[in-house]
């Protein structure tokens, strides 16, 4: 046995063990190489990369030193007796190699690969090889198996109600805060809807960013259970709630490699829904030239994959392919979107009609799961009666009301049409880029307020939208970017 020591070295994510080359207990050289070593006292163990040391002042000949992170993972005292051995090969390596060579895997094989990945038994190059091979060629059965293997390794929430509903949008369209209208309607009807929403990554606002204008969203699982028990639903950030250990492993590969795969995405999305205990879900797939899904054929394929995978996981699913050719609602950016939502819930005649209409349609699809005979009428009634608005107030209080919600930014600049005509197209990427330059989503009050939609008539010099910002520099940058291209295409006539 070797004496355990700690070296005050922070090797970032990689646990490292240090052995003297002249070690008295082991042939140290035989452990040096690509294969990791397992350091153990017989009960606790940690798997490390091995470095050899030629200086007894750093590591004594009868000692084994660990980097700070590895030492903490092992959790033993300095001086504890430890042994080392070559880390066991991942049991699923033959399956991983077979997948790289193109063979389909069984459910048990995929489960074993995921298990070994989560346990850190694979090198990054092996995970990368597997994911590149899998990204475009996982078949339906593999997508289901992958989703199930991931869900089983995520924190699971079990609800007292038999029916737990959800609504998920593929996003990509700025604005479009339907979730914040759908959830209150569904709660008002009495269904359970624990909505875990994302923050913006490349967009001006995610649902979690906009909800945060009104209330706390970084709730943990325990808080979510309390809120849902009290109110019937929630709208919280998924980052704290739906953490899946396999995501860390996969994102470390897929992000730097730029891997974009519907098959991996669908398995990820549905694994999170399964872990959250969702039993019924409506998928919203917006289609448009600058939306995430560009063509109807892509949308059909994605809808089919959602349906098949959900069924494989025992989740009832319905897919709606919707118009993704332009932003929904007037506001883009957290505070402006929250204003649109408030107008719809309040029955304000100035509320964006498109936001109201899409929200009612999706809410009706969710209510239909519960056997509601005329779900659209029911959804409209819950909105008109103020029941949905009151549900939202309860929700905001339960999650933790923001006492001083920000409004639209006080600095503004209008962008006008360069010519007269009809709005022929709106470039969602461009609009998102302008809103982000104005400061969204970090600056809640920043964004864009749109005055025109596709098909609207506009005269030269009339404003198309107004940029809002909190800082002069942000406003200037957004305005300059809008001047290079407003995102609105106006066709003569």
List residues binding a second copy (CB under 8 A).
7-13, 16, 18, 21, 32-34, 49-55, 58, 67-68, 97, 100-102, 123-129, 131-133, 136, 252-253, 256-260
DSSP state at residue 30: G
Nearer to a second copy, 9 or 476 (CB): 9
Minimal distance, residue 224 CB to a second copy, in Å: 30
Minimal distance, residue 117 CB to a second copy, in Å: 12
User: Beta 45-53 vs 2-6: how paired, if at all?
Assistant: unpaired
Nearer to a second copy, 90 or 174 (CB): 90
Minimal distance, residue 265 CB to a second copy, in Å: 15
Which runs of E-coded beta strand occur in 98-250?
Answer: 165-169, 193-197, 233-237
User: How buried is residue 123: exposed, middle or buried, by Cβ count under 10 Å (0-12/13-18/19+)?
Assistant: middle
Minimal distance, residue 474 CB to a second copy, in Å: 22
Minimal distance, residue 86 CB to a second copy, in Å: 14
Q: How far is CA 103 from CA 306, 307, 339, 404, in A?
A: 23, 24, 52, 57
196, 242 in Cβ contact below 8 A? yes
Nearer to a second copy, 106 or 136 (CB): 136
233 in helix, strand or coil? strand
**DSSP per residue, 332-359:** ESHHHHHHHHHHHHHT-TTS-HHHHHHH
Minimal distance, residue 248 CB to a second copy, in Å: 12
Nearer to a second copy, 8 or 27 (CB): 8
Minimal distance, residue 74 CB to a second copy, in Å: 18
Minimal distance, residue 446 CB to a second copy, in Å: 25
H or E element: which one contains 422?
strand 421-426
d(CA 484, CA 463): 16
Nearer to a second copy, 132 or 221 (CB): 132
Nearer to a second copy, 53 or 302 (CB): 53
Residue with tokens 């000949």: 61
**DSSP per residue, 277-333:** T--EEEEEEEE-TTSSB-SHHHHHHHHHHHHHHHHHTT-EEEEEEEE-SS-BSSEES
235, 195 in Cβ contact below 8 A? yes
H or E element: which one contains 107?
helix 107-118
Nearer to a second copy, 67 or 486 (CB): 67
Nearer to a second copy, 136 or 385 (CB): 136
């Amino acid at each position: 046995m070797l004496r355990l020591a700690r070296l005050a070295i922070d090797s970032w994510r990689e646990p490292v063990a240090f052995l003297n080359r002249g070690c008295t207990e082991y042939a140290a050289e035989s452990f040096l190489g690509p294969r990791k070593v397992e350091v153990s006292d017989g009960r606790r163990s940690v798997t490390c990369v091995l470095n050899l040391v030629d200086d007894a002042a750093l590591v004594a000949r009868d000692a084994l030193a660990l980097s700070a992170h590895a030492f903490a993972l092992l959790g033993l005292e300095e001086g504890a007796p430890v042994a080392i051995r070559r880390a066991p090969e991942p049991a699923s390596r033959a399956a991983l190699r077979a997948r790289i060579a193109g063979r389909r895997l069984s459910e048990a094989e995929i489960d074993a690969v995921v298990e070994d990945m989560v346990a850190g038994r694979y090198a990054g190059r092996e995970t990368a090889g597997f994911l590149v091979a899998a990204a475009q060629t996982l078949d339906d059965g593999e997508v289901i198996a992958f989703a199930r293997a991931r869900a089983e390794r995520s924190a699971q929430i079990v609800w007292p109600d038999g029916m737990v509903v959800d609504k998920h949008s593929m996003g990509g369209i700025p604005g479009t805060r339907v979730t914040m209208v759908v959830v209150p309607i569904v709660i008002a009807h009495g269904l359970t809807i624990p909505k875990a929403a994302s923050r913006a990554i490349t967009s001006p606002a995610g649902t979690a960013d906009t909800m945060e204008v009104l209330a706390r969203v970084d709730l943990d699982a325990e808080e979510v259970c309390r809120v849902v028990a009290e109110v019937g639903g929630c709208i919280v950030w998924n980052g704290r709630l739906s953490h899946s250990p396999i995501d860390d492993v996969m994102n470390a590969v897929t992000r730097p490699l730029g891997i974009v795969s519907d098959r991996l995405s669908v398995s990820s999305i549905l694994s999170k829904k399964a872990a959250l205990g969702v039993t019924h879900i409506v998928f919203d797939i917006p289609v448009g030239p600058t939306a995430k899904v560009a063509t109807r054929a892509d949308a059909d394929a994605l809808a089919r994959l959602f349906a098949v995978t959900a069924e494989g996981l025992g989740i009832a699913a319905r897919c709606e392919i919707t118009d993704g050719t332009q932003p929904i609602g007037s506001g883009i950016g957290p505070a402006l979107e929250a204003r649109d939502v408030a107008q719809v819930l309040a029955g304000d005649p100035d509320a964006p009609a498109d936001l109201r209409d899409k929200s009612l349609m999706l809410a009706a699809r969710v209510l239909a799961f519960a056997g509601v005979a005329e779900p659209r009428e029911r959804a409209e009634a819950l909105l008109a009666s103020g029941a949905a608005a009151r549900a939202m107030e309860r929700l905001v209080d339960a999650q933790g009301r923001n006492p001083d919600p920000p409004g639209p930014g006080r600095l503004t600049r209008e962008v006008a049409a360069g010519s007269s005509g009809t709005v022929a197209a709106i470039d969602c990427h461009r609009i998102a880029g302008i809103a982000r330059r104005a400061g969204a989503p970090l600056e809640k009050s920043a964004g864009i307020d749109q005055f025109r939609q596709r098909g609207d008539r506009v005269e030269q010099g009339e404003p198309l939208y107004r940029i809002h910002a909190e800082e002069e520099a942000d406003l200037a940058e957004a305005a300059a970017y809008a001047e290079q291209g407003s995102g609105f295409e106006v066709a003569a006539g």
